[in-house]
Structures are given as structure tokens and as C-alpha cells.
Structure 1
């Protein structure tokens, strides 16, 4: 571990990161923080040359720390906590191996938010979709992060009754993404990540919000992050996502299996309207994306329904959960 006192420690869990991780690491190294920072990488069994690449980069950069663990030791919260335990920075910055900083000020724009208020203990940044992201997901990602504000915004629990009553308000206060985020090291000492198989970031945010701390959103701190999943991968992702949302908020997207067609149809119609108003797409491509929407929404709401059931019938996780398989290899 680096013995120097660092302002920030950037923690990156890796496994078979490929070419995108190489770009991510180079961009992180090129950050203009204006103060010392280190990079702590925890690799859980890469076999694609990721470790060799990191070791080569270590020869050129003494601020890189590498910790290797067995695949069976990986856990989303557990591995990030391990990285945090190895870190010497005042601030713990988390980024995933496929989240590419937009510019050289990604890191600075995250950690500078802590200077705004001593009660801010967590900060998350904005995501932009990659070019290969599907048209609907691109729209969703951009709209989702726009909802948090065009300027740096501080969130905290200021209305307990509303928090108890409104699901949307709870989502707003507790949303957090460790694809690109930062926390004070001293708060991690008190409230580490929950060691769960999914949604460790939002569970952590719920804890700090309910204990009276604040979080901030920095739209100036930007990463490219999205996925180009197959339909099978999308189903598993939605299964895990909605299983996690139920655990955090007691949120059930699909109230009954008999309502599945209605949910699918409603979202499909919304997507068709979006396509109709998009003048940059040819008619042929609109037909393609309409068909894609029908399949995607069938997958989404089926995964959402089964994901909630997965909290009760854990045997479903062996069949449908991507995260269960990753952790139990």
C-alpha cells in the first residue's frame, strides 16, 4: 500500500476488463486533481491479460496498488470494502472497470463537492451512454440523470412523513451509483458497504440518508457508462435490478402476473411514441426499434416480476440471477 497520505483513493474492482478497462485506467491516471491520489485495483481472477497490464502500468506509476483475490471471494460490497481497507486517501472514489471518465476533471469534480458541506458524505456523478447503447436506453440514461439537476445538487432527508409516504421521493434520496462515486473515508469507517450480491450502493445511500447525512450529485463529473446486452443478459440484469429494488424500497413493479401484458403494452406504446417523434430515424429503423422494444419490454417486466419473487423463493436465483452466478462460481 502507498505510504503517502493521499487526498483520494480511486478503487476499481476488475475481472477480465478487456480493452475498455485499459482505457479507463489510462484516463484515471491522467486526472487533474491538483493533489496526490492513488489507484487501488482489486482483481478477482482475470484471465484475459488484465493483471499483466496492471502490473506493467505499476512499473510506470508508483501510485497503483494491486490486490488479487480468488473469484469465489468476490462480492460487490465485499470487494469494494476490501479496496477501501487498502486505501490511504481522505476520500474513497469508486469507479467500475467499464466506466470511462469523460475528461481529466472527472475526479476533481467529484471530490470538490465535499467542500460544500461537512455533512455531505457521498457524491455521485453523471453517466452518458456509449454509442453502441440501444436507442431507448440512451434516452433513459440521459433523462434519468437530468432529473437530478443541471447544477451540483445536495440531497438530504428533510421531510420524514413524505419519505415514508412517497416511493418516488425515497428513490430520489436513496439513488446512488458506484459506477462513479466518492465517499469520505471517515464515513466508510462507520458505514461500510453492505455485503450483498446487488445494489450495495443504493443500500449504502439509504443508510446514510436515514441517519441524517447528505449526498450530492455532481453533473460536471461525467463518465461514459452503458451496456450493450443480449436479450438473455438483459433478462438477468432486470431480474437482479428489481430484486434489489424490492429489498431497498419494498418496490414491486409488476403487481400481478396477470397484469404483465398491460405493463408491456404501456411501455411499448410509450416507446413507439418516442420513435414517432424522432425525425432522425428512417421508417425502416423505426420498425426495427419497435420490434426490439416489444421484445425488450417483455423481458424487462418478466424479469421484474420474477426478481421480486426471487427475494422469497431463493431457488429462482440459481436459474435467473447473473449476480448469484458471479458470486457463487
Structure 2
């Protein structure tokens, strides 16, 4: 584990961060380096990190960038592997980090991997379905010519719980800066294009989910639409994403019906419409302009630099 540095970007982490930090500190075997990059939290987030003897670096909130901040964290890291965790992800089991990293240790062609995300205990049925739909029980290793996953889904990746070979990250210049989201998927796509392998490790698990409202889902998918339109090279190299939303929506309705969550069927339908509408508007954000786009977006600070 001495070859690992864990990086956690934080901002007003609250009680969930306290539990996340505790679980991180209890990982075995130890020790490994934990580096917290805090965006000027106004609560006790930094104190929590310090209580667990994590390294803490404070940056200005306005300077946070999904890709740029993570690349900034790499500047003094010399370990072979770097693990990224979000402040609201709760590691499941004391060997979660070692389980994730082990797949890179066993195959030198795998340059990045991500773990399985399970719903939090308070997750509503829609949030639970999203986790079970996107994070299956079977692990996989994929490459550009692999049959599975198909097309653009090959680049599905999450920095909520992930690991990278540091030398590969540096060879591609780190994470791309000034993206509205998706810095993790971009790196996964670059790995595939460079004929490297990307892995999903179902046995390395965290609890991580969000109970988004219909409007929050609209805003999140607006940002996804912005991401896809600004990173069109990914669609060109890996394939389009058409039809995936319909499959997900229908699967969610079936999930709710089978489990007797009938009162969630209507919210599910409204949420699917909101996602579709948000995504389509996001793809035409240049026509809408910065002012309207900022109002429709979840990640509003992105638009300050457009």
C-alpha cells in the first residue's frame, strides 16, 4: 500500500465526510498517503481531515475545477498509483482500496479502474435503481476493440472511487481542465484510444448516491449534454449514445413495478422527461448563450470562464 496516494477533493463535507474519512483511515493494509484538497470549506471539513492525520491543502472555492483540481493534486505525488475518492463516498470494507488497486498490480496494461457504487441507506427508489443499473455485480476489463461494453459506454467511469497509474496520467497531461464534468470519462476514453485497458472492479465498493429532484436531474443532464457537445471527439472515437436513455427509463419503470414502488412510477416518468429535455438543451448551449445556460446548469461556476 506504500505505492498508493489517495486524493479527496472536499467542500463543506459535513457528517457524511466524517464517516467517509473514518472509513478511509481504517483501510488495511496501511499506511498510504491521503491528500485532501479543500475548496475553502466553511464547516469543520479540514479539521476532520486533520484529526485523521490526512494532509490538507486549502484552495479558493472559485479555483475548483473537476479536472484541474485533481491534476493540481498530482504535482507532488510520486507513488505508482493514485486513488480518487469523493467526500460523500463511503468505503465498504477495510480492504476496498486494496481491492481496487490490485487489478492494476496484476495487469500492467490496465491503466485505470473504478469501483462499484451502492446506494446510501437513505436512497430513494430512483437513486437505488441508478446505482444497480450502472454498477453491476460482474467485473470487466475492456479495451478499444472489446465487444463489451458497447460504444460510448466503454468510457463510463467515475472518480467517486477510482485508481490510475500515475505515469499514464502524467503522460497524457493529467485530467483535462475546465470541463463541466466528465474528467474521469475523458481519461478513460484517452486510455482506450492509446490501446490501454480500463477496468471495473465490482468487489471494490463504496456507498454513493444522490436523491435528486426532477429539476436537479434536469440540470445534471443539461451539464451532460454540454459535456458531450464540447467533447465530440469521444462520440466520434467510441460511438453515439442514442437510445441509452430510453432503455434506462424503461428499465427503471420495470424496477419500480416489480418492487411495488408504484407511487414512484409517475416521478420516474417526469424525471425521464426532464433528463431528456435537459440533455438536448445542453447540446445546444451555444445557441442558448451563457446567461440562460448558467441558469439551467448544476455546475454554475463553469460558466464564469466560458
Give the alignment's TM-score, normalised by structure 2.
0.87
2:277, 2:62 → 1: CA distance? 29
Gaps of 5+ in 2: none
Name the structure 1 match of 2:41: 46
1:111, 1:150 → 2: CA distance? 17
Measured against aligned partners, the alpha-carbon deviations of 1:157-197 in whole angstroms (never above 9, x if no partner) come to 226xx89xxxx622232111111100111112212111122
Q: Is the 8 A contact 1:6 1:88 kept in 2?
A: no
SS in 2 for 1:6: coil
1:13 and 2:12 are equivalent in the alignment: no
Measured against aligned partners, the alpha-carbon deviations of 1:224-269 in whole angstroms (never above 9, x if no partner) come to 1110123332221111123223433264659xxxxxxxx88x9766
1:94 and 2:84 are equivalent in the alignment: yes
1:122, 1:193 → 2: CA distance? 13
1:270, 1:200 → 2: CA distance? 27
Name the structure 1 match of 2:61: 71
Query: Per the alignment, do residues 106 and 239 of structure 1 end up closer, same or farther by CA in structure 2, a change over 3 Å counting?
Result: same
Measured against aligned partners, the alpha-carbon deviations of 1:23-80 in whole angstroms (never above 9, x if no partner) come to 1111111101x353110000011102212222333xxx3xx21110001111000111
Deviation, 1:131, is 2.6
Name the structure 2 match of 1:221: 204
CA RMSD for the aligned pairs? 2.6
Deviation, 1:274, is 3.6
1:271, 1:219 → 2: CA distance? 21
Name the structure 2 match of 1:154: 141
Name the structure 2 match of 1:205: 188
Give the alignment's TM-score, normalised by structure 1.
0.81
SS in 2 for 1:89: coil
2:251, 2:55 → 1: CA distance? 47
2:164, 2:186 → 1: CA distance? 14
2:304, 2:11 → 1: CA distance? 15
2:275, 2:208 → 1: CA distance? 20
Q: Is the 8 A contact 2:112 2:197 kept in 1?
A: yes
Name the structure 2 match of 1:169: 150
Name the structure 1 match of 2:123: 133
SS in 1 for 2:188: helix
Name the structure 1 match of 2:265: 290
Matches within 5 A, 1:109-124: 109-124=99-114
Q: Is the 8 A contact 2:180 2:302 kept in 1?
A: no
Q: Is the 8 A contact 1:77 1:197 kept in 2?
A: no
Query: Per the alignment, do residues 194 and 293 of structure 1 end up closer, same or farther by CA in structure 2, a change over 3 Å counting?
Result: same
2:200, 2:295 → 1: CA distance? 36
Q: Which has the larger radius of gyration?
A: 1
Name the structure 2 match of 1:178: 159
2:303, 2:6 → 1: CA distance? 23
Query: Per the alignment, do residues 84 and 290 of structure 1 end up closer, same or farther by CA in structure 2, a change over 3 Å counting?
Result: same
Deviation, 1:314, is 4.5
Name the structure 1 match of 2:176: 194
Query: Per the alignment, do residues 317 and 56 of structure 1 end up closer, same or farther by CA in structure 2, a change over 3 Å counting?
Result: same
Q: Is the 8 A contact 1:124 1:182 kept in 2?
A: yes
Q: 1:249 aligns with which of 230, 235, 245?
A: 235
How many residues get paired?
295
